[in-house]
Each structure stands twice: as C-alpha cells, then as structure tokens.
Homo-oligomer: A and B are copies of this chain.
Amino acid sequence: MPKAVNIGIAGAGRIGQRHAKNLLTQIPNAHLVAVADVEKKRAQELAEKCGKIKWYDDYEKMLEQKDIEAVIISASTNVHKEIIISAASKGKHIFCEKPIALTLEETNEALVVVQEVGVLMQVGFMRRFDPALFSAKEEVDKGSIGKPLVFKAVSRDPEGPPLDYAQVSGGLFVDSAIHDIDLARWFMGSEVEKVYAEGRVLIYPEYKEFGDVDVAFTTLTFKNGGLGSIENSRRSGYGYDTRVEIVGSEGTLQVGYLRSRRFFRLNKSGVSHDVVPSWMERFSGAFVHELQHFVDCVMDNKTPLVTGIDGKKALEIALAATKSCQKGISITL
C-alpha cells in the first residue's frame, strides 16, 4: 500500500461528513485520523462511523495532534480564519471550504499567515474538478473555440437553504454566485474589472427581512475585454440546474445536463426525464476529485489548482456584486 497523508477534519456537519466518507472509501492515499466539532455529539458520532478514530470538541486541540499533516476545514465560515491561522502556524496543510471568510480583511489576515509559513492551501471550489467542466477547460486551453470572449453561467438550487443558514450565509452572491464567479475567472483566464448585479426577492419574501435577494443576474467585464453573465436562483422548482457556456471567437462550448437517471419515459403526457435533485448528486464526483487532488498535492508538494488567492479574488467580486445589487450602480474593482 502506498504511503498516505494523515488528515483531520474540522467541522462534522453535512460537508464534513461527506469529506470523511470520501476520504475513507474513495481516496486510497488519505488516512483520516481525527475529527473535531464544537458540537461534541456530532464529532463523536462521525468518529465512531469512521472506525473509532479520535475526536475533539475543540478545533485547537485537534490541531495540536502531532501526526496530523493536513486539515480539512468544514466548520462554519465565521471560524475559518482562526482555524486557518492556527493550522498554518502548526505547519499543517489546509483544505478550506468556500468562502474563506465573509470579509476581505479576515481573508487577508488568514492568507498572510499561510503564505509566510508556506503550507499548501486549497479552497473548496469543487466545480473545477467536475469531469465535464474540467474537460471543457482543457478544450478551451487547447484553443478549440479560439479565444474565449464570453462566459455564461446559470445556477439554480432546487429549493432555498434553511432560513437560519440563508441569514448567515453572506447572501446569494457570497454563498452561491461565488462558485460561478470562480469558474468565470478560470475559464476566461482574466481578472474581472467591473461588476453590475440586479437582484430581486421573487420567491421567498422572508429574504427581504435580512436584506438578501433570491434571484439575481450579474454582469461581468473582464480585463482582457471579455464579458460575463451569471444567473443565480435559490429555487428552480424542478431540481438542481447548473449550466456553463463559454463563447469563443471560433465556436462555443456548452456544459450542463439535467438528467439524473439517464432514461426517457414516453407516455401520453409526452416525453420526459427526471432532473438532478441537488448539487450533492451533481458534483459527487467533483467532491472526490478535489480531495484526491489536495492529498496528491500534499504528497508531491505541488500548488493546488484552486489556491487561497483564488478564494480571495472570487470573494472580492461577490462582495462587489452584493454592493452593486444594493446600490443600483456598477462597481469597478
């Protein structure tokens, strides 16, 4: 058996549980050795499921465990910064869920320490690891559609998240559009120059109470001259729907599919097929591939495909979109 990287998970919620399962069953060169969560019961239960590994109700204590080489941060966003700084200071490599933080200031504080210490850091923009999007990027890079001119994306959730999550999520742009923004930068190979966002509360009137929107269109202009347009919606009413189109000078690539079970039913009401129920199913492969990539980078001491800087840049654009949407003006970065 090949050598493996010893890993601890900070945050045993839904995403943390998924990462744990993937590490255990899908990634041969990873060795999950500990799990921490401020909710003691959650930590204990996940540790039990993972073969009775160590558990902590204090992230700091877990980071002191000597044999841990890398940490996966899937705790709530408001504690990301402190865990990153502590982990980096102890020389542990970092995989952090998006967003790194809800402000650029906190993000900068964390990244400064990571850079000084020189540990690896990867941010959880798992879409880049989706086989469809990944191979579309390869196509763009080998020039099969000429120069990329326009980036388009649609991301519609099947239903909005629980209201208490929505309230602390950072809002539609920071919580959700940030994935599309990351893809926009990646596919266009250029930084964003100007942002205009128009959003409305069309589905969940409660969102008005905390100043968020549930449907939004974001227009991006890029430093290399390109244009971008992103649609985000908290509820499609029919399933999870995410699509990307890259328009180039010599052609176009369209990525996106809605079918889950892969068969068509034809009956007296017409032709139909089901849809992808949620991002969990749509990106199940991507979640495995991003962790595999992280573990491989740690073993080979290589820079990950999605760095802390990528996490920061996407946040910067998402915050600008939020401001544009609130003030009704375009924002130049």
A residues apposed to B, CB below 8 Å: 1, 24-26, 28, 51, 131-132, 135-136, 139, 144-146, 149-150, 152, 194, 196, 198-200, 202-203, 215-217, 219, 221, 225-227, 229, 231, 233, 236-239, 241, 247-255, 257-259, 261-275, 328-330
Contacts of A250 in B (CB 8 A): 237, 267-268
Contacts of A270 in B (CB 8 A): 238-239, 272-275
Chain B residue nearest to A195 in the complex (CB) = B198
Q: List 11 A-B contacts (CB under 8 A).
A: A25-B28, A139-B265, A198-B219, A237-B249, A251-B266, A251-B268, A254-B263, A255-B262, A257-B262, A270-B272, A271-B274
Copies in the complex: 4
Chain B residue nearest to A197 in the complex (CB) = B219
Give the complex CA separation of A10 and B249 in angstroms. 38
Question: Contacts A238-B251, A267-B238, A268-B251; is A262 near B215 (CB within 8 Å)?
Answer: no
Q: Indicate if the CB atoms of A267 and B252 lie closer than 8 Å.
A: yes
Contacts of A263 in B (CB 8 A): 132, 135-136, 139, 253-255
Q: Indicate if the CB atoms of B269 and A272 lie closer than 8 Å.
A: yes
Q: Indicate if the CB atoms of B268 and A237 lie closer than 8 Å.
A: yes
Q: Indicate if the CB atoms of A237 and B253 lie closer than 8 Å.
A: no
Q: Indicate if the CB atoms of A271 and B268 lie closer than 8 Å.
A: no
